[in-house]
Amino acid sequence: MSLTALTLVLTAALVHATWNYFLKKANATRPFWWLVYIITAVITVPALFIYDPQALTNITPTGWLVIALSAPIHVIYGQVLQIGYKKSDYSIVYPTARGTGPLITVLCAVLILGDRPSFWGWIGIALILASIVLLAMPHKQDKQTQDLRIRAGIFWGFLTGSFIAGYSFCDAWAVQQETGLTPLSFYFPSIAVRAIVFAPFIMMHANWKAESKEILTTPRLQKALAVVTVGSPLAYILVLYAMTIAPLAYVAPSREVGMMIGVVLGGLLLRERLSVTRLAGVIGMTLGVILVGLEG
């Protein structure tokens, strides 16, 4: 994995952990993600036309099919993640979600895309995945006082990770194959499709207008909306560019260095316990990322 790809992935990890922290703090209602999609699409799709007038016409029918398949997976991912943050702690949901995602993604990349990491690449990936388990393990005292909350966090985190694997595999295929798609021409139209797909489900919700107004007018929610609207696309576009120059089997687990940031944010800002086990996970994660980064 080249230094450029690793830099893109690590920057994305920092941005990703940050916007997830703000999403957790917001504790927002269902229209939150819909507003994120609408605002992002309104700003970025016209900008894409200006930057590359031929961007959409270059997309093949297969490319449009991938966009249509990816968009609903991202929509469901956003909702499942949001529910998880309502049900449990950031330091449980985030590591579990970010852990199961690359585990499934790497297996798919090896079995389906034919990615073949070297020996040290496998060691780095194994270290990252093992560290994910350590980071997701609750403290002994937590087991006694918050057992149900922890189990809920692991369940929703695992479910979120499954959708992460789904869109990671789909999106990597989109930008690596002959689909006429670039990271920008794939991601920004996909955002618009997400807004369209999600709209009927939002409007079936009786209080969607009032909840949308609350998100747009409450300072705390406005701040979270701004951070997620900028941070979510930025982090993922950086990852998409990394996928164009490095195998998915390396990119997917390397993204999870963001869990180190997540653990720190959970401990310092949300006052969640940093156990020895989780700190060991941070060290293992760092070593694994270094090994993956030295690859190629």
User: What is the mean pLDDT, run by run of 10 residues, along the chain of 296 residues?
Assistant: 84 88 87 95 91 88 91 94 87 76 69 74 78 66 61 85 86 81 89 94 89 94 95 90 80 68 64 68 72 60
61, exposed or middle or buried, with CB in 10 Å at 0-12, 13-18, 19+?
A: exposed
The answer for residues whose C-beta is within 8 angstroms of residue 61's C-beta and 6 or more apart is: none
CA atoms lying within 13 Å on the CB side of residue 23: 29
Q: Which residue type, as a one-letter code, is found at position 179?
A: T
What gap in Å lies between CA 207 and CA 292, rounded to an integer?
A: 47
**What is the pLDDT at residue 238?**
92
- Asked if residues 8 and 238 have their Cβ atoms less than 8 Å apart, the reply is yes
Q: Tokens standing for 129?
A: 């995945």
Q: Tokens standing for 112?
A: 């389906």
From start to end of 50-116, where are the E strands? none
The pTM of this model reads 0.79
